[in-house]
Every structure is written in structure tokens, then in C-alpha cells.
């Protein structure tokens, strides 16, 4: 896609020239260092760079990006207090604890780094900071140094609305959940305040009553606070997919909400993968008829038990459907390095009709005409990437926002279905057949095809997502550091254009 021309820069806005081009204004970015958060932030970087902005990426040492893959950006490392051997934990409660520890450790080093960058760039050269909404301390620092901020949330608009509703859900008694077992009785109960969610679709991060549950609650509250101190919210979704949810957010937040998704359709493909993508599966896909291959991936964090792995494997084998399966190192809980992840005999049983990779070029795989279905953990990026390629989904959500995403896939967009309960090879086989070869699956594929068209309209000329990106560029061209810093985290008021322009304009 050809990006629109870069906005004209006022003389003296920046001293930074790139390859003799006109001076660029600087957009500062800070992603949360997990794959599902890094990818959309780097796509946003690509969009902004193509619109004429210089991009400075602040990043943790943990899961640091590789600057050599993005020579056009400046990278500023921020100490995060983590050891160089740190990895993403397998339990979601531990991921939450890791995020809280990481963000706390970053605050002081980021203050020094940001102050140094602001000293270095000419006055008014810095447009704004766009940070992941999970990084509240980063927003606090930026605000105290008078840098306007925008919050990027990498989940759906519906998930964001659910985050906003979290305190009310506690007040009304939907939460806390006293241990996951008590959910069994009430898990199908509708939560009428946030339809179409049921209790089981809520963001339940562990047992909400223990210390870790408290941390989860803290994480959600911080994500909301980051949004509220910002000049606007950026979401990787599109109007035709989540119009009522977007309207609800605009009303409840009373701030600009920019639906720029699917963001990967705007940005030049830049590789922000933490793991090396195995591209050999694309050639293999060329040999299969249209919509015949099942793509299986559980994203970058979700883990399964050894039993689930075995039942999934034998169910896929029994279905007779060709497949590409991403078996990420460490994906099976409790496995040791070099341990055989797949059951004995599986490769022989599926020889010639299956490919295993440790990490796939997912967007390209989903775009390939050979792919007819996606077995997914229902991460938001995976859901968006599937929807906008017209690929129906078999959902096996694991934690966080994934249950809610699966609910929308099955109940609202009707482009897939959830496989719930205990996995066994029989129900896996039946689910795969339903998606790939049954009439039911074909109807879901047809509806996904409609969403693909709708996504293309939103990202096309004059489409809602294109307009949102225009607004974002406009904001970047006009936002200014304030003359006096805010105290604490008082919200930037988009209605005071003298200090910061309104994104609505």
C-alpha cells in the first residue's frame, strides 16, 4: 500500500535531517516487550516513519529489538532490572508480576534517558510519546517532562471497554472469582453490563482474591490510568469490526479514540519477530489447493499441557487435514530443552501432509490462498490477522483477553467457534473437520471473507482507519511540549489546542 505523502514540516521544527530530506519531527515510542505488543508498535512506527516522522524507540533490555533490522530508527535502551537470561514466564500470573516489576524498574532510568533525548533534540522537535498502555510509569515520567502522550492498547475495543468496567464488575460481584473451580456453576452467566461477554469471558487473571489476583487488578487499573492521562487512545481495530464498542469508548472516555487497524495493512513489512521465522512453510503451502490447509499456532506466550499436546496432535492426525503447526520451544508446560514435544509416531502418521515450524511468518501464512482455517489461542493480533485475510478460526483461548476475543469470533462475527472443555483426540478431530471440510466451516469462511472486504475498505483511501491515521499524523505534526510540565498525571486536555491539538480536528 502506498502511504499518503508526508505532511509539510514548518521551518525550524527539527534540526534532524535524514538523507538530505526535510527535517523530521520526532515521535518517541515505548513498546511493552512481548511479541503481541511489539508487533503493533513497530507497525505504528512504520506508518509514522512513512508519514515523515523520525522514530525513536525506547526499549527494555528484556526482549530488546534488534536495531540492525531497523536502521532507519534510533534505539534507546532503558535499564529494566532484569537478568539477561530472563524469559517470558509460562503462567499468566507470573507474566503479570513480570510486567509490574519491569515497569517499576524502568521508571527512573527512563526519566534520565528521556531527559537526555529532550536535551539533545531541538526545542519543539519532539511531537509526542506513544507508549503501550501497560507502561503507566512511562506515561507519568513523560507527563512530568511535559511530553504529550498517546496510549496504544494492543487488544480489541471490547477488551478496553471491559478494562474500564473492571471496578464496576467488582462492585457488582461478578469479580473477584473465588478460585477458578467456583466458575463452573456460573461461568455461562451473561454479564449484561458488558455484552456479549459471559462470566467465563471476563479477563480473569488467576484467582482474584490472592496477592497475584491483586496484581492483576493493579495491571488493569494502570492500563486504564495510562489511557486517561493521555491525549488520545490508539487501537488496532477497525470501525466495521467494532463500531458499537468504539462508539462506547469515545463516549465513556471523552477523548479521541483512533481505530487504526488492521495496522499491519498500512505499514511496510518490517520484521519485529523475537524468534526467527521459518519461511520454508510458504513454499510448501504453494503445493496445496485453495483453503485446504489448517494453520495451528498458540501465539508467543500461551502454553499447553503435555496431555493437551498429545490429544491435539492425534486429533489433527485423525482429521486427515493438511496442516502447518507452530510448535514454539517451551510451549509444552514442564518440558525441558531438546525434549521431544510431539508424541512418538506423530510425524510418521502425518508425513507428507504436515509441516512443523518453531515460528512462522504468520501474516504471510494467513494471507496464502492455501490456508483455509486457523487454530488459534485467540490473541488479538492473531484474531485481527485472520479476520482481515478471510480465514475462519477454531478458538482455544487460554487467558487474559483471549476468551473475550473468542466470544466475539463465535457469537458476534460468526467466523469461527470455540473448542471448550477438556481436549481429547475425538473432539479435536471433529472440530478440525467442522472448520475445514463441513458446510458450517464454509459458511464461516464466507463471513470471514466479508470481514476481509470490510477491513480493506477501512484501510483504503478515505476509509475509517486511513482517516484515523491521518488524524494521528496531524497530531504528530502539531503537538508541542508544554512550557510547564504537568504535576503528577493530570490528563492532557484535548480541548486546549494552545498546548496540544485536539485529535478530533
> 26, 59, 70, 132: which is the annotated catalytic residue?
132
Alpha helices in 257-361 (DSSP H): 280-286, 306-319, 346-350
Per the annotation, the verdict on 37 as an active-site residue is: yes
- The answer to whether residue 382 forms part of the interface with ligand UDP (CB under 6 A) is yes
Instruction: Please answer whether residues 468 and 47 qualify as being in contact, where contact means their C-beta atoms are separated by less than 8 angstroms.
Output: no
Least distance (Å) between residue 263 CB and ligand UDP? 10
Distance CA 128, CA 477 (A): 9
What is the Cα–Cα distance from 297 to 328, expressed in whole angstroms? 9
Residue 376 vs 500, nearer CB to ligand UDP: 376
Instruction: Find the shortest distance in angstroms from Cβ 494 to ligand UDP.
Output: 28
Dihedral in degrees, nearest 10, Cα atoms 64, 66, 72, 75: 30
Strand partners, 418: 395
| Residue from the set 31, 32, 39, 494 that interacts with ligand UDP by CB under 6 A | 39
Per CB under 6 A, the segment of 156-164, 241-249, 378-386, 427-435 that binds ligand UDP is: 378-386
| Closer residue to ligand UDP in complex, CB, 335/398 | 398
Residues in a beta bridge with 376: 297, 395
**Cβ distance 257 to 503 under 8 Å?**
no
Say if strands 257-259 and 233-235 run parallel, antiparallel, or are unpaired. parallel
- In the complex, minimum distance from the CB of residue 126 to ligand UDP, in angstroms, rounded to a whole number: 28
Min. distance of Cβ 270 from ligand UDP in angstroms? Answer: 12
> Mask of contacts with ligand UDP, 300-339, x by CB under 6 A?
xxx-----------------------x-------------
- Tell me whether residue 134 is one of the annotated catalytic residues: no
Q: E strand or H helix at 356, and its extent?
A: strand 354-357
- Note whether 385 binds ligand UDP by CB under 6 A: yes
Q: Rounded to whole angstroms, how far apart are CA atoms 122 and 125?
A: 5
> Comparing C-alpha atoms, which of 373, 277, 402, 398 is closest to residue 328?
277
Q: Which residue is nearest to ligand UDP (CB)?
A: 36
Q: Which stretch binds ligand UDP (CB under 6 A): 51-59, 218-226, 375-383, 427-435?
A: 375-383
Q: Which stretch binds ligand UDP (CB under 6 A): 57-65, 102-110, 199-207, 373-381?
A: 373-381
Which of 379, 390, 392, 416 binds ligand UDP (CB under 6 A)? It is 379
Pick the piece of the chain touching ligand UDP (CB under 6 A) from 91-99, 243-251, 342-350, 376-384.
Answer: 376-384
Kindly state whether residue 380 participates in binding ligand UDP, applying the rule CB under 6 A: yes
- 273 interacts with ligand UDP by CB under 6 A: yes
- In order of 145, 230, 496, the CA distances from 482 in angstroms are 9, 14, 11
Answer left, alpha or beta for residue 338, where phi above 0 means left and psi between -120 and 50 means alpha. left
| CA gap 425, 311 in Å, rounded | 5
Give Rg (Cα) of the chain.
23
Rounded to a whole number of angstroms, the minimum distance from the CB of residue 362 to ligand UDP is 3
Binding residues for ligand UDP, rule: CB under 6 A, are: 35-36, 39, 273, 297, 299-302, 326, 359-360, 362-363, 379-382, 385
Q: Indicate which residues carry an active-site annotation.
A: 37, 132
Amino acid at each position: 500500500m502506498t502511504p499518503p505523502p508526508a505532511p509539510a514540516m514548518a521551518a525550524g521544527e527539527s534540526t534532524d535531517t535524514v538523507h538530505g530530506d526535510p527535517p523530521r519531527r520526532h515521535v518517541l515510542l515505548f513498546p511493552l516487550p512481548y511479541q503481541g505488543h511489539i508487533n503493533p508498535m513497530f507497525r505504528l512506527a512504520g506508518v509514522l516513519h512513512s508519514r515523515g516522522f523520525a522514530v525513536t524507540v525506547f526499549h527494555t533490555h528484556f526482549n530488546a529489538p534488534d536495531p540492525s533490522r531497523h536502521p532507519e530508527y534510533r534505539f534507546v535502551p532503558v535499564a529494566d532490572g532484569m537478568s539477561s537470561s530472563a524469559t517470558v514466564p509460562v503462567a499468566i500470573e507470573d507474566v503479570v508480576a513480570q510486567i509490574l516489576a519491569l515497569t517499576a524498574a524502568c521508571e527512573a532510568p527512563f526519566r534520565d534517558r528521556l531527559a537526555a533525548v529532550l536535551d539533545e533534540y531541538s526545542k519543539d522537535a519532539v511531537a509526542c510519546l506513544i507508549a503501550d498502555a501497560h507502561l503507566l510509569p512511562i506515561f507519568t515520567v513523560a507527563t512530568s517532562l511535559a511530553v504529550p502522550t498517546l496510549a496504544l492498547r494492543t487488544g480489541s475495543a471490547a477488551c478496553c471497554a471491559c478494562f474500564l468496567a473492571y471496578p464496576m464488575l467488582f462492585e457488582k460481584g461478578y469479580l473477584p472469582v473465588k478460585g477458578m473451580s467456583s466458575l463452573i456453576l456460573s461461568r455461562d452467566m451473561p454479564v449484561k453490563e458488558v455484552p456479549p461477554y459471559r462470566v467465563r469471558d471476563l479477563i480473569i487473571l488467576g484467582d482474584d482474591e490472592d496477592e497475584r489476583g491483586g496484581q492483576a487488578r493493579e495491571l488493569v487499573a494502570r492500563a486504564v490510568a495510562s489511557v486517561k492521562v493521555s491525549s488520545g487512545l490508539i487501537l488496532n481495530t477497525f470501525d466495521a469490526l467494532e463500531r458499537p464498542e468504539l462508539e462506547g469508548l469515545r463516549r465513556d472516555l471523552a477523548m479521541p479514540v483512533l481505530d487504526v487497524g488492521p495496522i499491519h495493512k498500512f505499514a511496510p513489512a518490517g520484521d519485529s519477530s523475537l524468534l526467527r521465522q521459518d519461511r520454508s512453510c510458504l513454499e510448501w503451502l504453494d503445493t496445496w489447493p485453495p483453503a485446504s490447509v489448517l494453520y495451528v499456532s498458540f501465539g508467543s506466550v500461551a502454553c499447553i499441557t503435555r496431555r493437551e499436546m498429545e490429544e491435539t496432535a492425534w486429533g489433527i492426525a485423525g482429521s486427515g487435514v493438511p496442516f502447518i503447526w507452530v510448535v514454539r520451544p517451551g510451549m509444552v508446560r514442564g518440558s525441558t530443552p531438546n525434549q521431544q514435544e510431539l508424541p512418538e509416531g506423530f510425524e510418521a502418521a502425518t508425513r507428507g501432509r504436515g509441516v512443523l515450524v518453531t515460528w512462522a511468518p504468520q501474516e504471510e501464512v494467513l494471507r496464502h490462498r492455501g490456508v483455509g482455517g486457523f487454530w488459534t489461542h485467540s490473541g488479538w493480533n492473531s484474531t485481527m490477522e485472520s479476520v482481515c485475510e478471510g480465514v475462519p478460526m477454531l478458538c482455544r483461548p487460554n487467558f487474559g483477553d483471549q476468551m473475550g476475543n473468542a466470544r466475539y469470533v463465535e457469537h458476534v462475527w460468526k467466523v469461527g467457534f470455540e473448542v471448550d472443555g477438556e481436549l481429547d483426540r475425538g473432539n479435536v478431530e471433529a472440530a478440525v473437520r467442522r472448520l475445514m471440510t463441513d458446510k458450517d466451516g464454509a459458511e464461516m469462511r464466507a463471513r470471514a471473507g466479508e470481514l476481509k472486504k470490510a477491513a480493506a475498505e477501512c484501510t483504503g483511501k478515505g476509509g475509517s482507519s486511513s482517516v484515523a491515521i491521518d488524524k494521528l499524523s496531524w497530531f504528530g505534526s502539531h503537538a508541542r511540549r508544554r512550557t510547564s510540565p504537568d504535576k503528577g498525571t493530570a490528563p492532557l486536555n484535548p480541548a486546549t489546542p494552545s498546548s496540544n491539538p485536539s485529535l478530533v480536528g
